[in-house]
Structure 1
Amino acid sequence: METTEFQVTTTERLDKLVADAVATVSRSQAKLAIEAGQITVDGATVKPKDKPKVGATIRVSLPDPEPLDLTPEDIPLEIVYEDADVLVVNKPQGMVVHPAPGHPNHTLVNALLYHSPLSQINGTLRPGIVHRIDKDTSGLLMVAKNDHAHQSLSAQLQAKTNLREYVAIVHGNIKEEDGVIRAPLGRSPKDRKKQAIVADGRPAVTHFRVLERYGTYTLIACRLETGRTHQIRVHMAYINHPVAGDPLYGPKKTLKGAGQFLHARELGFKQPTTGEELVFTAPVPENFAKAVRHLRQQAGLPVDKAI
């Protein structure tokens, strides 16, 4: 049983107070816990919508989480490259990278474990995972098969010597040919599920260049200098050009399709043992290509050229 206590400092709904105060609990989880009597105010059970008085003591007593299933699963993988040290996979849109509460199995890690041994530096929940991409982002991911490879790839990420380029469709017409966004990122103080530009956040740098313009949308390439959570999505929204289809940071009226139009197209790094420079490219998925063809047709541009 995990127990947390804190005092109320502002007048808000109880479920929101708990979600804001306890990083591991979402608002919907808080609501269920309150209804189950696992959260009390000054020792009394209350309702999720109740607003405790300032100074009241909230006690959160949650059962220990069930262990996540890391069973290898025979899930098809698109392996772009493999050697004794590393795997490069083209992750489909909609696949979660590693198990977590809410996504205990059917993840990329489950599929990788069925295919190959993985490094254990990240522990049992994220074996082999050196960097991540969001569930609804498609594209290239490098995976370490042993600890030596993991240390090498992680060092390259820290030194900013590897190559990570994405393509995205964003809202609006970007007038500049290219640009650099430098804005620190951290958890949003208003919504724990979001990242935001915050003064005391971690440094984050995104380089972008325009590939095509469609009037109300722009096709861009982005290169990451840093790799923060949701970095491209937050940075593009920050300059008023959110990624099309982004459910967190973009407008509801957007391009038709499943998930955001963001794809990790190019990945480069040094092979951990030989030092050879390796660069890989993955074409955008069909739903992305279809959206580009539609936008090109509307803008009077050649429809079938490569993206």
Structure 2
Amino acid sequence: MTQQHIVTETEGKKRVDKLLSDINQETSRSQVQGWITKNLVKVNGEVVKANYKCQVGDIVTWQLPEVEQLDINPENIPLDIVFEDKDVLVVNKPKGMVVHPSAGHSSGTLVNALLYHCKDLSGINGIERPGIVHRIDKDTSGLLVVAKSDKAHISLAEQLANKDVERKYEAVVHGEINHDTGMIDAPIGRDPNDRQRMSVVDNGKHAVTHFQVLQRFNDFTHVECQLETGRTHQIRVHMRYIGFPLVGDPKYGPRKTMDTNGQVLHAKVLGFRHPITDEWLRFEVEPPSYFQELLLQFEQMY
């Protein structure tokens, strides 16, 4: 299936591989570069190299590679399905579940469960990530939308790229945030000193997080975060950047943090336009029991 995008003023002079990885948020630049190597990407009808600098008004077209036959095993893992029709599925992912197979996580993932539950999933992201339009981290719980067809996937990916998807999270952070609301506008990329971590870096991808204080405790704050962009580990990195790392976060939190089996972070609200009917859909699920028990513990302590 061929897709098309007209380069806007804000996208001018951006490398074509970066442009397409930004548009297809679950597709890495290396994957896009693979498309380019196979001559699947054209600008104004001409084949280009990955480092081509886009010009305003350029018409970028790309053809998605043929979907490989899935060889990941379906697994009968219970799913908390919030909504499902023939085009999309919204699931409440539990804390501790990896979204898709990768090195060290070949089974027990959301994808393994999805393949057992439904036979039709989009193939745009290849054999390891069928249906996956966006991700949340292993130890983050909450809402994810899954595409059951390529047409649905393309629409949802465009909504994400255009910042038309509503995504709100709840988190508990170290420290007391004095102001009630705030916005963090800081680019995120690989940490130059640790490739396993993300960090705020000058040459990173544009990233914006809005936050609102829900409750304050002694040395802790319960916050709601709304994503404007969807970068890897965005909330975890941004909250650490402003001095309020997430409780329980082994990667970005302080050395002395609470043992909560990972960051206290929950994807509570997800809203998007149905890719076929264009109806606005909005879903909300409360944080899991461990999260609510932690808040109750803080309320009783402070």
TM over 0.5: yes
2:156 maps to which residue?
153
Match of 2:111 among 96, 109, 112: 109
2:71·2:127 contact (CA, 8 Å) conserved in 1?
no
> What's the CA shift string for 1:81-122, capped at 9, x where partnerless?
001110000000000000001111110000001111200011
Q: Which SS does the other structure have where 1:180 is aligned?
A: strand
Q: Aligned residue for 1:179? A: 182
The alignment covers a number of residue pairs equal to: 234
Give the structure 1 partner of residue 84 of structure 2: 82
Q: Could you tell me which residue of structure 1 aligns to residue 221 of structure 2?
A: 218
Q: Report what 1:292 is aligned to.
A: 295
Q: Specify the alignment match of 2:45 in structure 1.
A: none
How many Å separate the matches in 1 of 2:128 and 2:77?
18
Pick from 242, 246, 268: which aligns with 2:245?
242
Q: Could you list the runs of 5+ residues in structure 2 that have no partner in the other structure?
A: 1-29, 31-69
3-state DSSP of counterpart to 1:233: helix
Q: Distance in 1 between matches of 2:258 and 2:204?
A: 31
Partner SS state of residue 199, structure 2: strand
Cα deviation 1:24-83 (Å, max 9, x = unaligned): 9xxxxxxxxxxxxxxxxxxxxxxxxxxxxxxxxxxxxxxxxxxx9611111000000001
CA distance in 2: counterparts of 1:162 and 1:251, whole angstroms: 31
Alignment correspondent of 1:140: 143
In structure 2, how many angstroms separate the alpha carbons of the residues matched to 1:184 and 1:225? 12
1:63 is aligned to none
CA deviations 1:133-188 (Å, max 9, x no partner) are 00010000000000110001001001101100000000000001000000000001
| Residues 87-102 of structure 1: pairs in structure 2 closer than 5 A | 87-102=89-104
CA distance in 2 between counterparts of 1:248 and 1:208 reads 21
Bigger radius of gyration: 1
Percent identical residues: 59
RMSD between superposed Cα atoms in Å: 1.5
Q: Which residue number in structure 2 is paired with residue 71 of structure 1?
A: 73
Ranges in structure 1 where 5+ consecutive residues have no aligned partner:
1-23, 25-67, 300-307
Cα distance in structure 2, aligned partners of 1:193 and 1:167: 24
Taking the aligned partners of 1:83 and 1:165, their CA distance within structure 2 comes to 23
Structure 2: distance between partners of 1:231 and 1:257: 20
Structure 1 residue identity aligned to 2:168: E
Offset of residue 255 of structure 1: 2.6
**SS of alignment partner, residue 88 of structure 1:** strand
Deviating above 3 A after TM superposition, structure 1's stretches of 4 or more consecutive aligned residues are none
Q: Is the 8 A contact 1:69 1:99 kept in 2?
A: no
CA distance in 2, matches of 1:89, 1:291: 24
Matches within 5 A, 1:1-307: 70-116=72-118, 117-299=120-302
How far has the Cα of 1:280 moved from its partner?
0.4
Query: SS where residue 194 of structure 1 aligns?
Result: strand
Tell me the SS of whatever aligns to 1:293: helix
Q: Distance in 2 between matches of 1:201 and 1:91?
A: 28
CA drift at 1:252: 2.5
Aligned-residue offset at 1:266: 0.4
Q: Structure 1: how far apart are the matches of 2:190 and 2:71? A: 28
Partners of 1:296 and 1:69 in 2: CA distance: 48
SS in 1 for 2:254: coil
Code of the aligned partner of 1:291: L
The answer as to whether partners of 1:122 and 1:129 remain within 8 angstroms in 2 is yes
Normalised by the size of structure 1, how large is the TM-score? 0.75
For residues 187-233 of structure 1, give each alpha carbon's deviation from its aligned partner in whole angstroms, at most 9, with x where no partner exists.
01111110011100000000000000002100000000000000000
